[in-house]
Every structure is written in structure tokens, then in C-alpha cells.
Structure 1
Amino acid sequence: MSNQVIAVERFSIDLGGSHFIHGEVKAVEDGIAKPVLVLSHGFKGHKDWGFWPEVSRRFAEQGYYTVTYNFSRINARSEGQDERVVAAVSTVSREVRDIEAVAAGIRKGELPLANEADSKRVALLGHSRSGGSSIIYAAEHAEVGAVVVWNGGSTPIRPTSEPGAELSPQEQAILADIDSNGERFNIVERFKALSIPVLFVQGDADNERLLAQNKRLQEAASEQHFISIAGGNHTFGAVDPYEGTTRELDEAFAETNRFLNTVY
């Protein structure tokens, strides 16, 4: 365990329309500009879910300016905003826009501890759905230097309902977003076009859909980096409330840190 003192500071980004991103920066405060690592939680998670506080601290100890944040849908939901308002900010398109807002804050030096960040060295790490969103963002923004996907990278799932049942407002919004962005959301093609290094860390006990997608991704760009975590489920064995690390999570962290060290 490192004995380094990690500075922790919170931030908020006003997106307008009563939408906010709330986040947190962790870094060793020594005046040395560090590579930036933006950590994005999964669709059912949040920045303080399970392993994120520990994982972000560990990366900070390894010399990264780490940024964790809640996608804007989390704040909209916690404030009790109208169901259709929450639905509108629950799409993949909005997720990519939220990543852009965080990246813009880094680029402009508007986040806390800005003198500790080297905004020209930015990597993204996304879990589950945000892994795909991170691929999309990187494909559209040249400043990203590397991407790591933990148990994700799937093309967005089309919501379906039981016979006679209607889709929820959130499901309707997600479906409309997918239908309007077929080419943009084709993760395999977006991934193939990337010239930057990408690492997929995939638990071999995750769901079959993600395992099949991971195989397709390997076939599409075998020169990229793929790690299989034996026995790893969708959260590498971690739970919320957090009960501590697991072998699978430790392995995912170690492989990710090793990969990022080759980039930065």
C-alpha cells in the first residue's frame, strides 16, 4: 500500500437546463503534471459505487490525475426530476456529451488541482455501457490518447418489452437514440477505426452477450490489447456496498496499470 498523501477535491459542472455533473478529482499534490485518467461508471452504477473510490485512489497513487464523476442522469434522478427529463439524459448520446463536458473542463483547466493535470495526456476508462461510450468519444476526439474498457464495449442494446406492455419513458428515449445513431453507435466499426491503443479487460464469467462481443472485437482488431480475467463476473466480484477488493479486481487493476504505463 502506498504511503503517498492523495488530495481529493470535488467539482460540479453546470450543463444548463437544471442538469449537472458532480465529480471528484484525486491526485498526489506535488506540482508535477500527471497523465489524466477519466473513470466512467456503468449504466446501473455511480461514481461511488462499489470499487470506484478505491480504484480511483489506486490510480492516483500510481501517478495519475484521476477523475470520477456521475453522469448527468444520476443527479437528475436524485433531485426527483420528471421521469421524462431523466429519460432524456439516460441515452448513449447524452453519456458521450457528459464525457465531453468533463474533458472540456480538464482541457480548460477548470477542474480542481488543475496544475497537477497534463491535459495533453488523457486516457478514458469505462465500465459496462460507458466502455462503448468511451470508444465513441475517442473516435470523435483526437485528444484521447488511450482507452480502457472493463467488461463492456457492446453496441447499445435495443430495449424490448413483454407482449402487451409498453416501454418505459427511459427505454423509449434509449431506443429512439439508437435508431437515430446506427452508424455512430456501431462499436466494432468505431473501434476498428481507432489508431490509439485500446485495452479490453473482460471477465470470462460475464454475460454471454458481452463475451460474444469481445470475440467480435478481437476479430476486428487483433492488434489491439485484450485481457481475460479468469472467474471475473461483470463487476470482477466486487459488490456495493463495498466489501473490499477481490482477486479478479486486483488483476483487472494491475493489467490496466501495466497497459497505461506503456502509453504514458
Structure 2
Amino acid sequence: MKQEGIYIGAEGKPAGYDIEYTPNQKQPLLVFCHGFNGFKDWGAFHLMAHYFAQNGFQFVKFNFSHNGTSPEHPMDFVDLEAFGNNNFEKEIYDIGAVLEQLKKEDFATCLDFEKVFLIGHSKGGATALAYSLAHQEIVSCATLAGVLDPLSRYGKVNDKQWKEKGVKYVVNGRTNQKMPMYYQLAENTQKIKEQLDIRNLLKADKRKFLFLQGAKDPAVPVTEVNLVKNLSNCTVAVFEEANHVFGASHPYESAELPNDLKEALSQILKFFQSL
């Protein structure tokens, strides 16, 4: 069964979520966090939801409140001002807001809030990890092409041009929109740098984590996993032919998961089931 809803995210901004779940069965909850320039309905994410829902998890995916979409336009970047003002602090808040909203809904009796797992893709991987590492009630977190050093990537407060102009732009290759990134992102990343010091936080954590990375990823280099591969509580798997989205695309027309993504989800499923 699938149901859509609205939660109130950072700064009171509404955003959409959806849940695919099995009614009348209390099962573990899996929450998925999309990445930069992403949204909950991108590409093959609906097939990901179905995969986990068919294998014993209630699956929730949501739009970050400041990802540039709106509840009325969940797949279009209609609010570039919000996009430019997004940051990790807001995204971490959003995860908590989604969980609180789910506890209020009619289907909450089907969700085992003592068995909550997170998956994050790309930049969403950093956010999912930061939330998990600050909330010991989360059983585990897995990342797909996860950003594991958000401080060096997004916290460049010494970027003189960015600071002087107050904004820099990234062109969305799919929509050709110039996506603003305001300097506040660098400032906020530094403001909460202790929460984003992922490697050191992982070293002090007793839970187990999974990191999946494509060797042919142009956005997050395969060397990113070097930060965690030697930590005893971290399992790393590199997919030699996988790109940043593990073979998916948007729009995604096939009814079947791409091979790399299917294998990645299979590994996540087995990992989470073992905990």
C-alpha cells in the first residue's frame, strides 16, 4: 500500500513524503534521503521503495524542505531561493520532522520505531549519517555514493569569490537551470562541523554501517570510501562499473531496477537484516 503526505520541515516549510508499507504488520522503518539536485521521485527511487516493501521494510522517501521543489510540484525545481538557502542543519532537522510526522499518522501502528534504518544517496548520505550518528536509536545507516567529507566539499569558507558574491551557481544538467548555492551553506557547514565530522564520529560509534560506491562515479570519487574503509564498524563495497546513480536515470521507464542498483539494494537488505 502507498500513501502520500506532507510534513513541516525546517523554518516551517512544508514538503512531501510518501510511504510504501504493508498494512496490519508492524515492520522496521527505512527512511531514504535523496541527494543534491535530487528529489524523492527521481528516477528509480519508486522501484527502490517497492523492493524494500516487498522484503519486510516499511519504506519512506521524502523531499527535503529546501530542495527547491514544492508539495504542488514535487519533481520540479520551482523554488530556487529555497534551494540556495538549503544546508545540512535544515536537512538534519527535516529527517526528525519526517519521523515525528509518521508517528502521528494512521499507519503508525505498522511502523516499528525501535527499528529505524536510514539510506542516503550522495549529499543525502552525509545528512543521513550525521542524523544517525547523533541519534543512537537509529539501528544503522547505509549510503549509496555517499559524501563522506562534507566539510571539505561544502564548508569552503575561504572561497573568496563565493564569499564576496554571496552565491555561486551549479547548472542542472537535466533541466539546464542555474541552481544557486548561497554562501550560507559554507558558513552553516562550518557552524555544525562537529556533527559533520563523519569519520571521527564513526570511530567512536559501536553500531555497524554500510558504504556502497561506484568506481566510475564522476560526482563522488571512489576514493571517498578511503575515509572509512579501515574502520572496524564500516563495511565498504565498490561496484567496478557503477556510476553515481548505479545505472538509474530520470525519467526511468523500465519496470526493473538497473543491475548495479539492484545489487546494491540487495547488499543493503542483507546488511540491515543481519543487525
Matched, 1:174 2:170: no
Counterpart of 1:171 in structure 2: which amino acid? Y
Matched, 1:249 2:261: yes
1:209 CA drift (Å): 5.0
1:21 CA drift (Å): 2.4
Q: Counterpart of 1:189?
A: 200
Counterpart of 2:4 in structure 1: which amino acid? R
Aligned residue-pair number = 251
Identity over aligned residues, as a percent?
Answer: 24
Q: Counterpart of 1:262?
A: 274
Q: Counterpart of 2:146?
A: 152
Counterpart secondary structure, 1:72: coil
Please list, as runs of the form range in 1=range in 2, the aligned pairs for 1:94-243 lying within 5 A after superposition: 94-106=90-102, 109-156=103-150, 157-158=153-154, 160=159, 166=165, 167-168=167-168, 170-207=181-218, 210-219=221-230, 221-243=231-253
Do the aligned partners of residues 119 and 207 (structure 1) sit closer, same or farther apart at CA in structure 2, a change above 3 Å counting? same
Q: Distance in 2 between matches of 1:17 and 1:256?
A: 33
Where does the alignment leave 5 or more consecutive residues of structure 2 unmatched? Answer: 169-179
Q: Distance in 2 between matches of 1:136 and 1:97?
A: 11
State whether residues 203 and 229 of structure 1, in contact with CA within 8 Å, keep that contact through their aligned partners in structure 2.
yes
Cα RMSD between the aligned structures?
Answer: 2.4
Do the aligned partners of residues 24 and 112 (structure 1) sit closer, same or farther apart at CA in structure 2, a change above 3 Å counting? farther
Q: Counterpart of 2:18?
A: 24
Q: Counterpart of 1:3?
A: none
State whether residues 49 and 60 of structure 2, in contact with CA within 8 Å, keep that contact through their aligned partners in structure 1.
yes
State whether residues 147 and 220 of structure 2, in contact with CA within 8 Å, keep that contact through their aligned partners in structure 1.
no
TM-score normalised by structure 1 residue count: 0.86
Where does the alignment leave 5 or more consecutive residues of structure 1 unmatched? Answer: 1-6
Do the aligned partners of residues 229 and 76 (structure 1) sit closer, same or farther apart at CA in structure 2, a change above 3 Å counting? closer
Q: Distance in 1 between matches of 2:88 and 2:95?
A: 11
TM-score normalised by structure 2 residue count: 0.83
1:103 CA drift (Å): 2.1
Q: Counterpart of 2:40?
A: 47
Counterpart secondary structure, 1:124: strand
State whether residues 115 and 139 of structure 2, in contact with CA within 8 Å, keep that contact through their aligned partners in structure 1.
yes
After superposition, give the CA deviation of every residue in 1:97-147 in whole Å (9 maximum; x if it has no partner).
1111112234xx223521211111000000001111111111111210011
